[in-house]
Structures are given as C-alpha cells and as structure tokens.
Chain A
C-alpha cells in the first residue's frame, strides 16, 4: 500500500502510523466540562467508531517522513486511497 503524502510524495505504508477514524474533538465551554452532555460527547468521540464498509476518513501520521498528521480518505472495500491532505489544510 502506498500513500501520497502532500509534502513527501508517494511513500510506502511502513513510513506511516494509522490512528483511526478522523473525528472532531468536541468543543465544550469550560463551565460545561462536567456536564453529562460533555461526558456523552467525549465518550462518543473516544469510543464510537463508524467502521464503514466504504469511504473512510482516517488520521495517519507520517512519522518516517515529514512528521505531519494527514487525513487519508480511503475505501475500505478495495483499499483505494482517494485523497490525502495535511490535516491543517483539510477541512471536511
């Protein structure tokens, strides 16, 4: 498998570490951090995974390259890599 890093070009899988689904950390006001809603939101953020058969947005780290976190959009059915972006550039 190869991932085309936006900074380094096409690179072999062994250079990367996958974290999992690219999710967005809940934004909670400081005064609400102990609210049940905050706990629910963080629990969903940490534990709930969509695990789709199909298109999946994932966080990957190019540790043996440019040290950049990437958003890799992949099809889990055929392993096709559809898009790769620096996480700071990419907005879903």
Chain B
C-alpha cells in the first residue's frame, strides 16, 4: 500500500496543515484528518505488529472497529496505549508510536514467533499451563509478557481530570448517521427531550464517507442541513465525540465523551473525558454496521483494507490508501467503493465479486475495470505489504499486481448495546447478518443497525423508529418529508471462508488476537464446536475490539465445518463496554481524598490546634493522640494521656457516636423490642447500657440509652455501626411494628459530644453547669442523665457514663457550640491539669476495663460469648429473642471473651495471634481462639489483651501460648477475667 493525498476534495482544511510524529518521524497532515488518514497521506503502510505472531500490520478500516492500527499516543504521564489511529483526531504536535514491536517496527526480533506458530495455536493458553510449572515461570511467562503485550501504560499518576454527569431524556439517539439524524430531527420537532450521542466530532456518519447524493445535495451537505436544524432545537442536546458504551436496565446508558482527546492538552479546568449516565425513556439505536473482511491466505498483509474504510478515506479525508486497487466483494458496497476510486482518479485493477455477475446499477464502473465474477481472492503476495493479488476463478488463478485490496464480505449490524441485555440476535439470510427484529427493552434499532443499508431506507427508518418510540411513551411525532433519493443498489451478500480451501500462508479471522481459519479448524477437530467454546479456546473475538470484524466470520467457518446453517450454529453475546474505557473515566472525580466524603467533628479545628494526630474511622477523622514536645513515640504520648485521665482528668471527642432520638407514647415499648434488655425500666433522668441483637441472635451493637422524659429517649450507638443501626431501627419501626406510636430522628451531627473522664472530672463539669446544678456523687451519680444548660445558657445533655472505668461524664452540646464549649472545658480543667486524649488512650482504657468494642462486636459473637447472657430479657419478644436462645449460640465451648496477660509483662500480645494450649503444636486442630484487642497498660505496667477463647471463662489462671505465625512470635500468657483493672468499679464513684 502506498497511499497519497488526493489533489482535491474531502472534508479537510488544506489551509490548516498540522505536523505530527510517528515513531519519531516528522510528518504532516491537515485539520480534519485522523491519525490513520494522515499516515496514509504520508505513505505509511505498516503501523504495528500483531499481538502474538508479530506480523506487520497496516490499517484495516476507518472507524471504531479497527483491530490493527493501535498506537501509543502522547508520552510521559499522559502516554495512552491502544489508541485506534482510525478514530484519533489529528492535532498539531501529536506524538504517536507503534506498539508491540521490539526493538523497532521494521526489525522486530520477535517476529520469530511466526516460526513458533504451533506454540501459539488454538488452546495455547490452556495447553501451556499443563507444562511443568518451572518451565512456565522461567521461560514462557517472561517470553509471553514481552511478546504478547498490547501497549504500555504510563505507570505514572494520571495528571488529567475526569467527570461524571447525569442526564435524562425522552429519547436517546445513539449514532449520528443518516438514521440517527433523522430520528433526532423527527423527535426534536415533536418537542421531545432528545439526546443524540455520536462518536465522531462531526455528525453525519456514512453521509460523510459514502459518495451519495440526495435531493440534489451530496452527503456532507445533507448532513449539514439536518444538523443545522437539529442544533436550532432547544430541546435537543447533541453530544459529539461521545460513545454509548453500555446499556443497563430501565433505559440507563453509560456514554463516554472524549472532551479533550483531540487537543494537545486539556484546557485549564477542562476534563479530559466525561462519563454520562443517561436515563432515557426510549432509545433509537442508529449505530450502523461494521463491514466484514474476507478470509483468505495472507489477508493480514498491510494493504488489505475494508472497502467502506477506503471510501471514507477517499471521500472524507481526500487520501487514497493505494495507487492500484483490487476490490474483492460480496456486496454492492464494494462496487460503490470501486466507483469512488474511479471518480477520484485512482486506478482500479479489478473488481472480484464472489457473486455470479456484476450487480445492476454499476454498469459505469464495470465499463472501466476488469471484472471477475464468481471469483475470490486466493491470497496476497508481497514482501512486507501487498504487491499482488492471486485471484481464483473457475478457469484457474491469475495474479494481478496491486498495492491495495479493498474487501467487503458483508455487514454486521452494530447491536452490541442490545446484546448487553442478553438478547440474542437472529440470522437474517436476506442481508447476510445477525439482526434484532424489533424493539427490545425500549431500544429501537434503525437504519444499518437494523440491517437497512440503503440511504433512503436509513433516513425513513430513523424517522419511523423515532415516531414508534415516542408513541410508546404517549407522545405524537409526525413523519418528516424525506429527501428524494433514488433507492440505490445495496445488496449485501456473504462470502465466508470455505473449509477445504486452506492454502499455504495464514488466513486470519481475528486480526487483533491472531486467530486463523486453521485455529478454528483445530478447535473443531478437538471438539470445541460450540460458539462459546470456540471463543474461549481460540480467544476469537476476545480482544479489545470484541471481535467486531471477526466474530461472524469465525462462527460461519465453524458452522460450515459442522455442516450447519449459520442460523443453527449459535452466536456469542458481547459485554459492556462497547469500546475500552479509560480507568480515569470510570473513576471520575473520585480519586485521592475525593474517593469518599470526609466527615469532621464540630471540634476538629480545636483538635488540630492541639496538635492532634488524626485517624480515619470510616469517613470520620478522629483525634488519635495529642503529642507534646519531647515525646519520642506515639506510645509515650498515649501512656501520658492514660495516666493523666486515671490520676486527674481528661477530655476527648466522642461526637462521632451515633445518636438516635426515640419519641412517642410507645417509645419505651419500641425500645424493649429493639434492645435485648429492658430500656422501658430506665427511670427518667437515668441512662443504661443496652445491647442490640440481630434477628439471628448474634450481637449487632451495644451502647447506652438515656431517658429524658416518659416518652423521650436518646440512644447512643457505636461510631462504626451508626448507619446500620439507624436503618435497622427504621426497619423495626416501619416494617416490624408499624402499629407502635413512635418517631425516630437521627441526630448524630446535631450534637458535639465530649467525654470528660477521671477522678477530678466532676469538678470540671461542675464549673461548666449553669445555676449551680450540683454534679456530686449523691446528686449526679453514675448513670444519671439530664438535660440542662452549660456555659451560660447553652442547652446540653449531661450523662454520667464511663467507658474508661473512671468517674466520667458525657456532655453533649449543639454542634455549633462545640468549639466554644471544648475551650471552656479546657479552661475549667486547667487548674486540675486536664489533658486532651485521643482514640488510642480511649482504647487502652477500655481494654484495661474489658469492655468489648469493634473487634469483639464483629458480627460473629453472641451475648453469651461476651458475658452478657444475663442481660437478655426472656419475658418479652425482641429482635433476636428466639434465635439467641439456640443451644449452639450458648455452647460453653464457643470462643468466649477473656483477658490475657503475658507471663513476662514486657512482652507484647498482638491482635490476630492464635491461642493454643500450653505445649501444643501450632496446628488448626489445636487452635482455641484469637487475640481481639491488645494494648500496653501504663496503669498496670504490663501488656494486656482481650481474646475470644474456647471455654474461656472456665479457664481463668491457665497459661496458654499466644502464637503469631505471621509476625513469628510465641508468647506465654495467663487467661484472666476481661476486666484487668478495678473489677469492683470503685473508681466510678470518685469525686
């Protein structure tokens, strides 16, 4: 193939030359070129090497179906592999490289793979895996990784922005060719909300590529007229450079808009790509059809090109991909290409038609070229590219010199989007292709996508589909006047490879995955005859082009080998996406810290001022510890914070705790059904520990419930379970017991909440409370809960609740007052040496006290396991009541909560380590439980842990091994009660 720029014509702007580079060579093209058309204009014929066999490959087509011409575009952190040169718009400074060649496109050392063909035959992946493992790892995998790659990813962070947007419409039209434009216009004139998505930058589809005329206009003029009116309609949105990539239930489509791919760099604030999620009441699928290549020996040689692609290059881009052309066709479209070439002044050496005679309507072409009826191309000849074509017909084979073979083996309607619903198309012999008969899931195929290839039929069909689709949603649209067009010749036949005609040389079916007719034959001989097996065994159609140019040829060959009609051999479905999507587009803006929302508590700014180190707890940022100058490790800090609380007073932020208000005449009855104990017995002004089960009897969450009035409660639930408990409580209210008169409100973010803990905490709290409300041991003992005001009229809730085991209070104030109140707390506590403490110190103190938390409330533990069996009220129904009593959930042999203390107090116990009997081997049979939480206790000057251990409560005092196979340690430890400190709870009553 030796392409060149035509002197005239085309939709290019010859006043805007663009320079670009391909494999380091400086070349030039014009605005309106694709990378492929510009390469053709510069006479470049070989643009890459094939995937497995490293054979030189040229450009096959001119659109999104391209299997061969994949390049790496741009460089550095913007390098993008596997870009189709046929759809990449040329821009000034474009830099592209060929892929899959080493060390260079011309001298590819791995072309030796071509000599290893038996290794890469059908079933290669499966057969190779059966070889010795070492051989695979040391020899084959490295070789294959080098040999069988597609392009290279940049390996660097993507510097560009991506967006995701949502849209809804009455009618989505996919495809901006003649059928799509007419559908859009018809629906737009009727006032419907229409979105037209078109993958090209310029709407028109084949109107821009085929040498058609309609009503005295050529194709581009007709397209311009239709687009002009469409753009004048305010109810129509046209999305160019946009591909509908996937279809989902209920009219939902994903489309990707290539906003800046045609620019050297995105403009400031411009996303590179934008993903549209479009919900459409109805859809017209006007996605056209892909042309099928012909399968013959050495049909992959650069210079073999789809006829429709040749027409597009000639008519739209004003380049001819060859100087002397053989057209090999089974369709009238091939003849139209021959006519386009003749009109452009390109020498057409022959038209080879698999059918019996030249079709009517092309007498002008037949008069100027040699015609070979009832003939086929046997093979191509040439070194590195096509130099001659061997044509076989009844009388024998003749060789015709040529540098371009334009092939047309029929058309495949582009019905991938409907295929996403699992809808199988049917074979339509009249057009030699698979079609979807009528509307499915609200999607109406129209035009070439429905197997109608004539321009007049496409225009009419687009209008008809829009009228039909709108009528289904109760809208009326009128059929437009259509341009007067002579119905043209448009017969589309088939010409599949016939078994028994195998020649030396390789006849390729799937060019991107290097699957040949011989591979299909081998799969047949080895018994992989179902189309699904054929696909997986040979990898036919499994490349990034999803087999658009190969699937039907492959299954037609299999059908012939099996002696079946194509209709009976089956057809594979395609999955989304229709075209490869960049990972960046899928992620959209959700990268880095935008991956999920960040929730900050009302006193975050104060904690930052205090130098807090924060930890992520779900979406929350919580202060983990507050380091001070001179502290050399986090452990120094945490030890100081713990000792300060245990000996004086500390304050920590517990705003993240889930908070739910329960209000109404039946509030107490409701809580008795939600919780396993009896919140109804909580007196007004008190709070109580409360345990929540799932219906299967396992523990869901724990927390406290405070009662502020007969009919008004506030539940505190753990940070991690806040959303799930809220959803569960609403389920109880709305689904299980809708007859109870109770209202719920989620108020987690409404309150800023602090724990003020330590023997001096009551003195700090007393200084905050207005009107001298006493908080003495007598007036405000443990579990008291009251609404009052603090700091001069700030409404507050105060509860004497302790997680640390010390005399402690939880103070909640409106979120807006949180920052001011925490500063008042610090000032009031100054004389008592108050410290701010974080989640680490809180965790140390709760482990010292043996309170279960996240690692123990893991969804697999029962009240019995955690030592809470006595809390279960059996004289009422509640969620989990019946199934919690099952014997297996109360089996003493279950892993149950205990404390662990290392025999040597300085040896750490590590979370996740296994508990084994003393002297037992570390086997699964001997495994008796695991460490759930561990800490260093500065109070006890010892490492300590909580664990779930088989028959744990019966084994206090026993020395066991704590085996950590991952970090490689075995520690001797003594089983004890979970509560390591102050088991009588005397500290609660201090101050």
Contacts and interface: CB of A to CB of B under 8 A. Distances in A.
B735 interface: yes
Nearest to A47: B696
Nearest to A69: B734
User: Which of A42, A47, A63 has the largest count of B CB atoms less than 10 A from its CB?
Assistant: A42
B696 A46 contact: yes
B960 to A, nearest CB: 35
Nearest to A38: B882
B738 interface: yes
Interface in B222-249: 248-249
Given A63-B727, A88-B734, A30 B876 contact: yes
Contact of B250 (A17, A28, A33, A81): A81
Given A42-B883, A46-B883, A61-B730, A87 B696 contact: no
Contacts of B738: 87-88
14 contacts: A1-B250, A2-B249, A19-B731, A33-B882, A34-B885, A39-B883, A41-B882, A43-B883, A45-B695, A46-B883, A63-B723, A68-B734, A86-B734, A88-B734
Contacts of B481: none
A38 B885 CA distance: 11
Nearest to A39: B882
Interface string A37-69: 011011101110000000000010101000111
A42 B695 CA distance: 8
Contact of B877 (A33, A47, A87): A33
A67 B730 CA distance: 8
B249 A1 contact: yes
Contacts of B406: none
Contacts of A67: 730
Nearest to A31: B875
Given A17-B727, A61-B727, A2 B252 contact: yes
A7 interface: no
Given A33-B881, A69-B731, A2 B736 contact: no
A42 B882 contact: yes
Contacts of A12: 166, 252, 277, 279
B248 A25 contact: no
B874 interface: yes
A15 B738 CA distance: 23
B695 A46 contact: yes
Given A33-B882, A39-B882, 8 more contacts: A1-B249, A2-B250, A12-B252, A28-B882, A34-B885, A42-B882, A42-B883, A69-B730
Return the 8 tightest CB-CB contacts between A and B, nearest first: A42-B882, A79-B249, A2-B250, A1-B249, A69-B734, A88-B738, A87-B735, A46-B696
Contacts of B874: 33-34
A17 B723 CA distance: 12
Nearest to B166: A12
A59 B734 CA distance: 11
B730 A28 contact: no
Nearest to A4: B250
Nearest to B876: A30
Contacts of B248: 1
B152 interface: no
Contact of B735 (A28, A59, A63, A81): A59
A12 B877 CA distance: 37
Main secondary structure of the interface of A (DSSP, over half): mixed
B886 interface: yes
A87 B876 CA distance: 25
A38 to B, nearest CB: 5
Interface residues of B, number: 27
Contacts of A33: 874, 877, 881-882, 885
A3 to B, nearest CB: 9
A59 to B, nearest CB: 7
Nearest to A89: B738
Contacts of B886: 39
B731 A61 contact: yes
A79 to B, nearest CB: 4
B883 A30 contact: no
A61 to B, nearest CB: 6
Contact of A25 (B250, B696, B736): B736
Nearest to B248: A1
A30 B695 contact: no
Contacts of B736: 25
Interface string B776-820: 000000000000000000000000000000000000000000000
A33 B735 CA distance: 20
Contacts of B875: 30
A70 to B, nearest CB: 9
A69 to B, nearest CB: 5
Nearest to B422: A78
Contacts of B166: 12
Contacts of B252: 1-2, 12
A39 to B, nearest CB: 6
B402 to A, nearest CB: 52
B785 to A, nearest CB: 26
A46 B252 CA distance: 34
A71 to B, nearest CB: 9
Contacts of A69: 730-731, 734-735
B698 to A, nearest CB: 11
Contacts of A59: 731, 735
Contacts of B250: 1-2, 79, 81
Contacts of A2: 249-252, 279
Interface string B604-619: 0000000000000000
Contacts of A39: 882-883, 885-886
A28 to B, nearest CB: 7
A32 to B, nearest CB: 9
B883 A28 contact: no
Contacts of B734: 68-69, 86-88
A12 B166 CA distance: 10
A49 B734 CA distance: 22
A28 B877 contact: yes
Interface in B709-740: 723, 727, 730-731, 734-736, 738
Nearest to A43: B883
B658 to A, nearest CB: 14
B474 to A, nearest CB: 16
B924 to A, nearest CB: 27
Contacts of B723: 63
Interface string B880-915: 011101100000000000000000000000000000
A46 B694 CA distance: 10
A78 B881 CA distance: 38
A33 B886 CA distance: 11
Interface string A80-92: 0100001110000
Contacts of B731: 19, 59, 61, 69
B436 to A, nearest CB: 16
Contacts of A47: 696
A81 B249 CA distance: 10
Contacts of A43: 883
Contacts of A61: 727, 730-731
Nearest to A26: B882
Nearest to A17: B727
A85 B876 CA distance: 31
B236 to A, nearest CB: 22
A45 B694 CA distance: 13
A42 B889 CA distance: 15
User: Which of B250, B723, B874 has the largest count of A CB atoms less than 10 A from its CB?
Assistant: B250
B727 A30 contact: no
Contacts of A46: 695-696, 883
A33 B882 CA distance: 6
A6 to B, nearest CB: 13
Nearest to B723: A63
Nearest to B881: A33
A85 to B, nearest CB: 12
Interface in B732-765: 734-736, 738
Nearest to A27: B877
Contacts of B730: 61, 67, 69
